[in-house]
Amino acid sequence: MSGTQADRQIIEAAQDPSEMTAFPSCLGRFAPLMNALMPMFLWIDDAGRIQGLGRTLHKALDEAEVLGQPFDRFFAIGRQGHGGSLCPNARDAEGYAPRSLQPRESSGLLRAMARERAIHLTLRARPGLSLRGEAFAMPEAEGGGVVMKLSFGIYLREAVAAFNLTERDFSAADLAMEMLYLQEAKSLVMAELRALTTRLETARKEAETQALTDPLTKLPNRRAMEQALTKAIAGAAAGGAPFAVVQIDLDHFKTVNDTHGHAAGDYVLQSVARILRDALRAGDIAARMGGDEFLLMLRGRLGRDEVRALAARLIAQLEAPKWYGRSECLISGSLGAAFSQDYLPEELGQVLGDVDHATYASKEAGRGCLRFARPPSM
């Protein structure tokens, strides 16, 4: 707002009778200027009654009859959530009551408030809104009591919304509108920061997922499986849930690559990934460990017959012809399996090595079959 506009606002407010709040004769000559310059002032006499108030404060009270009414009818001393006025001298004043100000008990408290200068009030009609400001003692010749210059402070935004306040309701020198602009700018910045945080968190999760996912088959990769196995082994060693591990090495995959090309080989690997995903239960994990090697982690205590049945289904599906265009791609699988319950806690670190040996035993036995790493524990 320019200086000329500010001056015009003061002059208009001072000349507009509708903007004035009645005053006793002792302050009558100052009424227009006080309304224009301090639209949030409040004058209380020594009897604890309201003798004058600014137009904006009157608007906030939403009462037709305010002058001459007890201060305690509209205000309580203290901020929202606090029990007192936060004026140490006022606490010592005779007759002080934290929750209210009784008309005939107000003299000592008013004098203490004026000495302390700082004052906090709460609107009784709206306990969620607090006022803050300064208190000044009035000379006895001018009617005595205390004049307060108040503001909504940190509750400005809520007050503007609650009382439909506009720029005209504040002094031209008041920074209320600038504070509202700053609050709005802060809200916009915070919203953008939250959106940025969300985008960064999404990007972080996507990066973590990519780091733990095989890009071709979309299965978990070696790193993801190693992390899962580390947790499973630690849990089983501590007496937690058992698990089984099944390794799958594709048979004849190199022939597919050499004969039909790497595109056909990629297609076969993706087909194998679908077969494994469809065969597993919720909570089980299938990972591509690299090349034509896959690993399954099956949670819970499983018997050998259950794993044999699973292996038979997988081998049958692996050996089913897979067509890449007009090229028939034929593969099989050699499987090795191990059960955590067949190991002592201190031996569980050997599971991966043992299942690898069992897989090679399958290849030596003619491929397309299953071998177990250890005999069942007794």
The residues, any chain, with a CB within 8 Å of residue 113's CB and separated by 6 or more, are 85, 87, 90, 119, 135, 146
Give residue 10's pLDDT: 39
Coil vs helix vs strand at 333: strand
Q: Quick one: tokens of 43?
A: 């004058």
Provide the pLDDT for residue 111: 63
Distance of CA 145 to the CA centre of its chain: 49
Residue 92 has a pLDDT of: 40
CATH number for the domain running over 222-372: 3.30.70.270
What pLDDT is recorded for position 96?
35
pLDDT value of residue 110: 62
Q: What are the residue ranges spanned by the domains of the chain?
A: 3-173, 175-211, 222-372
264 CB-near residues (< 8 Å, 6+ apart) = 256, 257, 324, 325, 327, 329
> Is the domain covering 3-173 a CATH 3.90.76.10 domain?
no
What is the identity of the amino acid at 262? H
pLDDT score, position 371: 96
Q: What does the pLDDT profile of the chain (378 residues) look like in tens digits?
A: 444 454 454 344 444 444 444 444 455 566 667 766 788 888 888 788 888 888 888 888 877 788 888 888 898 887 655 444 444 344 443 333 334 555 555 555 666 766 777 788 888 888 888 888 888 887 765 567 888 889 888 888 888 888 888 777 877 667 777 777 777 788 888 888 999 999 999 998 888 888 889 999 999 999 999 999 999 999 999 989 999 999 999 999 999 999 999 999 999 999 999 999 999 999 999 999 999 999 999 999 999 999 999 999 999 999 999 999 999 999 999 999 999 999 998 888 899 999 999 999 999 999 999 999 977 664
82: CB partners within 8 A, 6+ apart: 120
Report yes or no on whether pTM surpasses 0.75. Answer: no
